Chain A
């Protein structure tokens, strides 16, 4: 079995990002859409940490900590918007979120 290199981690992170992207486009449940975005953020984090390890540069790990803060802010605001929308349309199906269309 070959040794684990940077390319293995790039492949893994790309596949995870692709799974998140496919889930974001094909699902209709707003909560699962939300979790797909989290998966994509995690794929980018994995890529940053892998580059940090194989380039021997600690700045990548510091950037991941900043991404954690941004993700926490995104989740707080996003879920608040979701609850507010749920009160208006009584559902989490994104095809019913068409208030701006009409």
Chain B
């Protein structure tokens, strides 16, 4: 099963780099789609089938379609969408900040992983029924708060995108 992990990890990183360096936003969106799908495959490798399905339907299905819709809406032929950050200080500072953030995250989370250790996996791990039980018992308050958040976001999005704000 190792080759499975390495293949999809490589695809995820390569398409992530492609997305960040793409000249036009539309190829970048396709690179992001590839990252989402390879991450969904990795979720299957991690015994999380429900999360993998939601990754495909919500991210690759809903969110990315919305992003592509906005790209199509805003892209006009005479618009210079491919202009880059020519100021070198942005690039160097961005690279330093990104690499430092990655290193810090890696060291910190690896330390946490050493502290908490690993446990053997029970045989029924990752069953959608168990997630549903957790969602409606331990995380019931969070569930309600998230539903209110979605309602507020819905109202806010409609209000902001009104023509005469």
Binding site for B on A (CB under 8 A): 1-4, 6-29, 31-32, 34-36, 38-39, 42, 45-47, 49-59, 61-62, 64-66, 68-77, 79-84, 86-87, 91-93
Contact = CB atoms under 8 A, between A and B. Distances in A.
B62 A83 contact: no
A19 B31 CA distance: 13
A32 to B, nearest CB: 5
B28 A35 contact: yes
Query: Is the contact region of chain A dominated by helix, strand, or loop, or is it mixed?
Result: helix
B74 A82 contact: yes
Interface residues of B, number: 91
6 contacts: A21-B102, A38-B67, A49-B48, A49-B51, A56-B125, A92-B79
A29 B106 CA distance: 28
In this complex, the member of B22, B51, B106, B130 whose beta carbon has the largest number of chain A beta carbons within 10 angstroms is B51
Interface of B: 1-3, 5-6, 9, 12-13, 16-17, 19-20, 22, 25, 28-29, 32, 35-36, 39, 42-43, 45-48, 50-51, 54-55, 58-59, 62-63, 66-67, 70-71, 73-74, 79-85, 90-91, 93-95, 97-99, 101-102, 105-106, 109-110, 113, 116, 118-122, 125-126, 130-131, 134-135, 138-139, 142-143, 146, 149-150, 152-154, 156-158, 160-161, 163, 165
Give 10 closest A-B pairs by Cβ, nearest first. Answer: A18-B102, A25-B94, A22-B98, A23-B20, A73-B153, A26-B94, A80-B160, A80-B157, A53-B46, A80-B161
B101 A21 contact: yes
A74 B34 CA distance: 21
Interface centre among B3, B91, B95, B161 (most CB of A within 10 A): B161
B126 A66 contact: no
Given A61-B126, A61-B131, A26 B22 contact: no
